[in-house]
Structure 1
Amino acid sequence: MKKLKEIPAKTEAEIALAEEQIVDLSKRIEFYLTEYSVELLAGKMSKGEFVVPAYQRAYTWEEDRKSRFIESLLLGLPIPFLFFWEMPSGKLEIVDGSQRLRAIAEFVLGDLRLGELDSLTALSGFKFSDLPESRQRKINNRSIRGIVLNEHADEQARFDMFERINTGSKIANKAEVRRGALAGAFMDLIVELATAPKFEALAPVSKKELDEREREELVARFFAYSDGLTGYKDRPSEFIFNYVKQANVRVVDDPALLDQYRGRFIETMDFIERVFPNGFRRNDKGKATPRARFEAIAVGSRLALNERPALAQEAVPDVLPWLTSEDFIKVTGSDGANAIARLRERTGFVRDKLLGA
Structure 2
Amino acid sequence: MEHLINKKVKNIEISGIRKFFNMVADTKDMISLTIGQPDFPTPAHVKEAGKRAIDENFTSYTHNAGVLELRKAAAAFVGKKYQLTYNPENEIIITTGASEAIDITFRTILDVGTEVILPGPVYPGYEPIIKLCGATPVYADTRENQFRMTASVIEKYITEKTRCIVLPYPSNPTGASLTKEELTEIAKLLSNKNIFILADEIYSELVYDQEHFSIGTILREKTIVINGLSKSHSMTGWRIGIIFAPEYVCNHILKVHQYNVSCATSISQMAALQALTVGIDDALVMKSEYVQRREYVYNRLVKLNFEVVKPDGAFYFFVKIPSHIQLSSFDFALALVKEVGLAVVPGSAFSELGEGYFRLSFAYSMETLEEGLNRMERYLNNNR
Fold shared, TM-score > 0.5 on shorter chain: no
> Which has a greater percent of strand?
2
Give TM-score scaled by structure 1 length.
0.27
Pick the structure with greater CA Rg: 1
User: Does 1 or 2 have the higher relative contact order (CA < 8 Å, sep 6+)?
Assistant: 2
> Which has a greater percent of helix?
1
